[in-house]
Amino acid sequence: MVKKMILTVGALLLLFPAMAFADAPSTAMLNTGLNSLWVMLAAILVILMQGGFILLEAGSTRMKNAGHVAGKTIFTFGLGSLIYWAVGYGIAFGENGNLLYGLGKFFYNPPVLYSEDAGLSDSVFFIFQLAFATISLSIAWGGFAERAKLSSYLIFTIVFVGVIYPMVAHWIWGGGWLAEDGAQDFAGSTVVHLSGAAAALAATILLKPRIGKFNKDGSSNQILGHNQVYTTLAVLFLWVGWFGFNAGSTVAIETGFFGYVAFNTQIAAAAGAVAAMLISWAFLGKSDITTMLNGGLAGLVAITASCAFVEPWAAVVIGLLAGVLVFFSQKFFEKMKIDDPIFALSVHGAAGVWGTLANGLFATPELAETAGVGKAGLFYGGGLEQLWVQFLSVVVCGLFVFIVSFAVLYVIKKAAGFRVTEEQEIIGLDLSEHGAYGYPEQMKKAQQNLNA
């Protein structure tokens, strides 16, 4: 033991003087390195959110579709990555563009090492942005669940990650026309969440509700997901991942601003979960777990735009209202007979809109200056100006994604077919699209009962 220690200490002593002769890295170099490390970590967290979506979607749907619902996420994540590398990134962040779209950086080939004063590694920034694009894609799948053909996932991935999402990202983050106007969307309530939800809305309208969701008299049936524990774990996955999503979006650690962003994120999410639980309890007489989970997510979605622009009390208000909003939004879509199996429209759509608008109300002048985007909101003496900009960005981005997605999916519907046949839907997409069930034993039993 003693011998070992002496050896170690000796080795270290030999090393240290040697290091003193090497060139010390400059502060800028260290800074870039630390930023890159932080954003890389954040990117990993955001990519892990795909795990959250796998569990969320699979848990919220039925056993017969579980393998398909879970597996297709990895497939589209893979395909989406290739498309984003080839095309999407260039449209979002290419340097030779205009206010509408970027050009350049197609089939992106980043520098191997970062330059001293880059501020952030280019390849890390790419991975971080790619993670965002594919999260938006996974949100859109909420509208496809349990009845869309696998081929439609393939085609839509190409269009969504290649063009639709990158355009919106360019407008708000890539120096596009909404960025010029000062639209505040720190980590993507609009860019990521509303875009995903608008695509989901287009899909679910074109697909029509799942078999058995609505009755002839207009009432709806509850198609319960097969595993509420998955759904709950999914929310925790997403919640944790969201620290990468929001706090990572500072893309720097210099002043430690990411800590404040993380702080706002946490209390808003907490408020969302609590508010949704209480509101469902008060209105239904029984507290609804699914609503509570959606409330937590809605709090996260809403604070995504505003986490860098508002004070803590406002973060709590934004989260609380998001939790309440998600409950009524779920009811609203059900009333409208729009089937929303994963609640993407309410969680990412309604809360995304609310979070983006909230900036126009609660953004403080100091924080707007720190973030370097836009102005103060209505409650901080900014008047209606910022609120108008926020409103505009919501309407324009929401409509753009909805219309283009609708058009693309409509073409798919007419040309190749969008929805599986009734028989396939009844036996489950695991079997119809992949040939094997995700839960073989259970489904075999169900089949036997069906035949008996």
Residue 217 or residue 441: which is nearer to other proteins going by CB? 217
Residue 152 or residue 290: which is nearer to other proteins going by CB? 290
Where does residue 403 fall: left (phi above 0), alpha (psi -120 to 50 degrees), or beta otherwise? alpha
Q: CB 408 → other proteins: shortest distance, Å?
A: 33
Count CB atoms within 10 A of the CB of residue 20: 8
Among 96, 215, 448, 451, binds other proteins (CB under 8 A): 215
Which one of the spans 29-37, 122-130, 219-227, 236-244 is the region binding other proteins (CB under 8 A)? 219-227
Closest CA to 443 of 435, 143, 421: 435
Strand, coil or helix: 74? helix
Residue 256 or residue 285: which is nearer to other proteins going by CB? 285
Run of H or E including 318:
helix 312-335
Residue 37 or residue 284: which is nearer to other proteins going by CB? 284
Tokens (6 digits) for 310: 């508002």
Q: CB 215 → other proteins: shortest distance, Å?
A: 6
Which one of the spans 13-21, 122-130, 215-223, 227-235 is the region binding other proteins (CB under 8 A)? 215-223
Q: CB 285 → other proteins: shortest distance, Å?
A: 4
For 107, residues 6+ apart whose C-beta sits below 8 A from its C-beta are 85, 86
Residue 288 or residue 430: which is nearer to other proteins going by CB? 288
Does 328 participate in binding other proteins (rule CB under 8 A)? no
Where does residue 104 fall: left (phi above 0), alpha (psi -120 to 50 degrees), or beta otherwise? left
Among 220, 424, 442, 447, binds other proteins (CB under 8 A): 220
At 151, the amino acid letter reads S
Q: CB 200 → other proteins: shortest distance, Å?
A: 22
Residue 121 or residue 291: which is nearer to other proteins going by CB? 291
Among 96, 219, 448, 451, binds other proteins (CB under 8 A): 219
Q: CB 206 → other proteins: shortest distance, Å?
A: 25
Residue 94 or residue 225: which is nearer to other proteins going by CB? 225
CA angle at residue 412 from 97 to 153, to 5 degrees? 75
Among 4, 14, 112, 222, binds other proteins (CB under 8 A): 222
Does 221 participate in binding other proteins (rule CB under 8 A)? yes
Half-sphere exposure of 142 (CA within 13 A, CB side): 31
Does 287 participate in binding other proteins (rule CB under 8 A)? no
Binding residue count for other proteins, defined by CB under 8 A: 10
Q: CB 277 → other proteins: shortest distance, Å?
A: 14
Strand, coil or helix: 148? strand
Residue 219 or residue 449: which is nearer to other proteins going by CB? 219
Radius of gyration of the chain (CA): 23
Residue 34 or residue 223: which is nearer to other proteins going by CB? 223
Sign of the C-alpha dihedral computed for residues 187, 50, 271 and 332 taken in this order: positive
Residue 213 or residue 348: which is nearer to other proteins going by CB? 213
d(CA 438, CA 57): 14
For residues 243 and 45, the answer to whether their CB atoms sit within 8 Å is yes
Residues in the chain: 452
Residue 129 or residue 330: which is nearer to other proteins going by CB? 330
Q: Report the chain's terminal Cα–Cα distance, integer Å.
A: 71
Sites for other proteins among residues 247-286 (CB under 8 A): 282-285
Closest CA to 80 of 42, 102, 47, 119: 47
For 342, residues 6+ apart whose C-beta sits below 8 A from its C-beta are 56, 57, 60, 61, 141, 142, 145
Q: CB 216 → other proteins: shortest distance, Å?
A: 10
Which one of the spans 18-26, 87-95, 109-117, 214-222 is the region binding other proteins (CB under 8 A)? 214-222
d(CA 31, CA 223): 51
Q: CB 209 → other proteins: shortest distance, Å?
A: 14
Residue 335, Cβ density class (10 Å: 0-12 exposed, 13-18 middle, ≥19 buried) = exposed
Q: CB 224 → other proteins: shortest distance, Å?
A: 10
Residues that bind other proteins (CB under 8 A): 215, 217, 219-222, 282-285
